[in-house]
């Protein structure tokens, strides 16, 4: 890990312990009619030093970056950085520019152009320092919050009338303000230029471009098109997306995907995703960022949409201030183990409340709760558990906690919900939910992170022409949701000899009388209630709904569940949600 967390100049953190002697310290300077006393050095580099500067009249502290430019090219680069900061001023996730001053080299004692750049001082420290102090990665919610704020800054840069490319995005350039907000800094490598190599380019042109990239970028964060220009890929905004993928990977796994900066590994996107399922919700974003072809890479806006979908699926509050500090070294192993287990188990301190049950239009009789099936060949008018051995009772349902156990954190919990008015959102946002969960070769769709839909699993000869062999499905579910933390709801109308081990399997054929294409209303209500209670019993539980094709009949139950949960009142809205999440 030491290789990726090298100290980098350019961040304005008050927590840095750099205290080198400098003749500038102690002086009082005036910039824009404001007198500032230089208090101490907080970072140093070859051509620049960052100080804490205090307003003499108000005692407010700022970061002052003193840059020296020996030649015209260096002067141009510094002026570019200042101009970029001016253009980006006001965005909540970008270091705030306040003022700047310039002294011509003819008026300085050192014979170089001198720039004084005043910005806000991020007293929360640098993210790299906090990561260095930790023995375990952040929990998924914190990762989502940090990365969301980072992507907001990049998306803002890319969406300007003249898009700005940072070119040197890395974990070292992320600071934390006093109010717990991520701040992107160090725009010394940023540019407005994009390059499009083609067959007419000479080897000299390509070498010059690669040298330029090497000058302004960090090796392990470089995109393939920056390392090798012979593929004739566009060198533009997508280089920032690649770097964002590196940042997300580091936040999840505390290591860099290309730590050795190997050119061959980068141009082939040769990296490995650790098997830890804790961060599997981010895998599709990482893969989308690490596309060799920049045209196929996710954009910053698309990443934001996927992060919003992940937050909705897990009940994360993206607007909450970050509560992260350097991890104390006095933490005991037991404390760390407890925290890690809680995070791995998805335990949340404040789950969203359980929605109020809808009242049936008529006082219809309701079947009793699911029970283990008996030897009686005729199914009773209730959900039947056909999986558990006859001499073993199914796992009893836990009482519903006051918070609902985060059951529908994917759908409810905060005002302004991402899917609150689904019918009014754009089709582009609709498609995001479908893409936000990592897919496999199996025909399995995640409606949310805890509701899955698939076709009827095949066995025997049927598996020769149908997808989803039952063994493959079982292995998939056991790997994604270990310890039998899933319940299968069979609404296909066909019984099968299940091979799901000790997992809970509910035969829903009672809800569909013979020749009926739609379920009985009271039976549908009972199924929704049973799913709700099962998911509420454990935050790790998921439900798997399958019919013959994984569409029509499954859609009825899933959409009924969304309405039961209170997310939608109009069935068409629930159907639209289902449609964009299930692969056609």
Please, which pLDDT band fits residue 490 given cuts at 50, 70 and 90?
Answer: confident
Find out whether 477 and 486 touch, Cβ atoms under 8 Å: yes
Topology (CATH level 3) of domain 28-119? Phosphorylase Kinase; domain 1 (3.30.200)
Alpha helices in 481-570 (DSSP H): 521-537, 552-564
Q: Is the pLDDT of residue 540 over 50?
A: yes
Considering 406-415, 430-439, 442-451, 509-518, the range whose residues carry the highest mean pLDDT is: 442-451
Long-range contacts of the stretch 225-233 (C-beta < 8 A, 24+): 225/294, 227/263, 227/266, 227/267, 228/263, 228/267, 229/197, 229/201, 230/197, 230/206, 231/267, 231/292, 232/196, 232/197, 232/198, 232/199, 232/201, 233/197, 233/293, 233/294, 233/295
Q: Which residues of 7-16 are buried (b: 16+ CB within 10 A; e: fewer)?
A: ebbbbbbbbb
Q: Is the pLDDT of residue 65 over 80?
A: yes
Helix 238-253 and helix 140-158, axial crossing angle in degrees, nearest 10: 170
Topology (CATH level 3) of domain 371-581? 3.90.190
Q: So what's the pLDDT on residue 457?
A: 80
**CA proximity to 446, closest of 578, 548, 288:** 578
Q: Model-level pTM greater than 0.85?
A: no
Name the residues annotated as catalytic. 168
Strand partners, 543: 451, 487
At 370, give phi and psi (nearest 5°). -60, 145
CA angle (165 as vertex; 159, 170 as ends), nearest 5: 115
**CA proximity to 382, closest of 507, 502, 503:** 507
Q: So what's the pLDDT on residue 154?
A: 96
Q: So what's the pLDDT on residue 342?
A: 40
Q: So what's the pLDDT on residue 463?
A: 57
188, burial (CB in 10 Å: exposed 0-12, middle 13-18, buried 19+): buried
Average pLDDT, the chain: 76
Contacts of 37 (CB under 8 A, 6+ apart): 26, 27, 28, 53, 54, 56
At 28, give phi and psi (nearest 5°). -115, 120
**CA proximity to 484, closest of 550, 555, 534, 411:** 534
Q: So what's the pLDDT on residue 273?
A: 93
Q: DSSP assignment of 136-161, as one string?
A: SPPPHHHHHHHHHHHHHHHHHHHTSS
SS3 176: strand
Q: 248 to each of 143, 154, 448, 531, 543, how far by Cα in Å?
A: 8, 14, 21, 33, 29
Please, which pLDDT band fits residue 352 given cuts at 50, 70 and 90?
Answer: very low
Identify the CATH class of 127-314.
mainly alpha
Please, which pLDDT band fits residue 215 given cuts at 50, 70 and 90?
Answer: confident
Q: Is the pLDDT of residue 241 over 50?
A: yes
Find out whether 64 and 108 touch, Cβ atoms under 8 Å: no
Could you read off the pLDDT of 461-483 as tens digits, one per residue?
Answer: 665 666 777 778 888 888 788 77
State the average pLDDT over residues 360-385: 44
At 66, give phi and psi (nearest 5°). -105, 115
In this structure, the strands spanning 542-546 and 486-490 are: parallel
- Lowest mean pLDDT across 53-57, 131-135, 238-242, 496-500: 496-500
Percent of the chain clearing pLDDT 70 (strictly above): 73
**CA proximity to 318, closest of 180, 145, 183, 176:** 145
Contacts of 218 (CB under 8 A, 6+ apart): 168, 170
Q: So what's the pLDDT on residue 295?
A: 95
- Lowest mean pLDDT across 29-38, 97-106, 433-442, 490-499: 433-442
Contacts of 557 (CB under 8 A, 6+ apart): 489, 491, 508, 519, 524, 527, 528, 545
Q: Strand 48-55's sheet: what is its strand order?
A: 28-31, 34-44, 48-55, 61-69, 113-119, 97-103
Largest CA-CA distance found in the chain, in angstroms, rounded: 99
Q: Which tokens sit at 335?
A: 């404390």
Q: Which residues of 368-407 are buried (b: 16+ CB within 10 A; e: fewer)?
A: eebeebeeeeebebbbbbbbbeeeeebeeeeeeeebbbbb
Domain ranges of the chain: 28-119, 127-314, 371-581
SS3 220: helix
Q: So what's the pLDDT on residue 566?
A: 81
């Amino acid at each position: 890990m030491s290789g990726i967390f090298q100290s980098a100049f350019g961040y304005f953190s008050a927590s840095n312990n750099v205290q080198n002697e400098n003749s500038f310290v102690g002086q009082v300077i005036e910039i824009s009619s404001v007198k500032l006393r230089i208090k101490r050095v907080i970072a140093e580099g070859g051509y620049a030093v960052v100080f804490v500067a205090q307003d003499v009249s108000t005692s407010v502290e700022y970061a002052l970056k003193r840059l020296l430019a020996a030649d015209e090219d260096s002067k141009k680069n510094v002026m570019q950085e200042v101009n970029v900061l001016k253009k980006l001023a006001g965005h909540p996730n970008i270091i705030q520019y306040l003022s700047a001053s310039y002294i011509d080299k003819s008026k300085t004692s050192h014979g170089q152009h001198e720039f004084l750049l005043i910005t806000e001082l991020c007293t929360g420290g640098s993210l790299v320092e906090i990561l260095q102090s930790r023995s375990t990665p952040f929990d998924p919610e914190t990762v989502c919050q940090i990365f969301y704020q980072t992507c907001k800054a990049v998306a803002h840069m890319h969406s300007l009338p003249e898009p700005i490319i940072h070119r040197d995005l890395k974990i070292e350039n992320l600071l934390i303000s006093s109010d717990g907000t991520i701040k992107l800094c160090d725009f010394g490598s940023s540019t407005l230029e994009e390059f499009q190599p083609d067959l007419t380019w000479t080897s000299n042109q390509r070498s010059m471009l690669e040298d330029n990239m090497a000058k302004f970028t960090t090796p392990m964060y470089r995109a393939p098109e920056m390392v090798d220009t012979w593929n004739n890929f566009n060198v533009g905004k997508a280089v920032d997306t690649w770097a964002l993928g590196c940042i997300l990977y580091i936040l999840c796994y505390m290591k860099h995907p290309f730590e050795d900066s190997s050119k061959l590994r980068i141009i082939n996107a040769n990296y490995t995703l650790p098997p830890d399922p804790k961060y599997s919700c981010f895998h599709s974003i990482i893969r989308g960022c690490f596309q060799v072809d920049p045209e196929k890479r996710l954009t910053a806006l698309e990443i934001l949409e996927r992060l919003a979908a992940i937050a909705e699926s897990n009940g994360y509050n993206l607007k909450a201030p970050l509560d992260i500090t350097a991890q104390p070294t006095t933490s005991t192993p037991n404390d760390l183990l407890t925290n890690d287990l809680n995070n791995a188990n998805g335990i949340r301190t404040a789950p969203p409340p359980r929605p109020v049950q809808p009242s049936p239009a008529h006082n219809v009789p309701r079947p009793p709760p699911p029970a283990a099936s008996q030897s009686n060949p005729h199914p009773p008018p209730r959900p039947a558990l056909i999986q558990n051995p006859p001499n073993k009772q199914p796992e009893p349902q836990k009482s519903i906690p006051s918070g609902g156990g985060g059951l529908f954190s994917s759908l409810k919990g905060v005002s302004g919900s991402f899917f609150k008015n689904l019918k009014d959102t754009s089709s582009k946002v609709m498609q995001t939910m479908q893409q936000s969960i990592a897919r496999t070769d199996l025909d399995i769709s995640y409606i949310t992170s805890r509701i899955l839909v698939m076709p009827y699993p095949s066995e025997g000869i049927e598996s020769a022409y149908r997808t989803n062999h039952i063994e493959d499905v079982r292995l998939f579910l056991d790997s994604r949701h270990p310890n039998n933390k899933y319940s299968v709801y069979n609404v296909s109308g066909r019984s099968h000899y299940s091979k799901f081990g000790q997992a809970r399997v509910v035969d829903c054929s009672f809800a569909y009388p013979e020749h009926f294409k739609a379920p009985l209303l009271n039976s549908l209500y009972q199924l929704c209630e049973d799913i709700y209670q099962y998911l509420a019993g454990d935050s790790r539980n998921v439900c798997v709904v399958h019919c013959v094709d994984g569409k029509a009949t499954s859609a009825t139950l899933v959409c009924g569940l969304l309405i039961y949960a209170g997310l939608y009142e109009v069935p068409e809205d629930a159907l639209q949600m289902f449609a964009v999440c299930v692969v056609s």
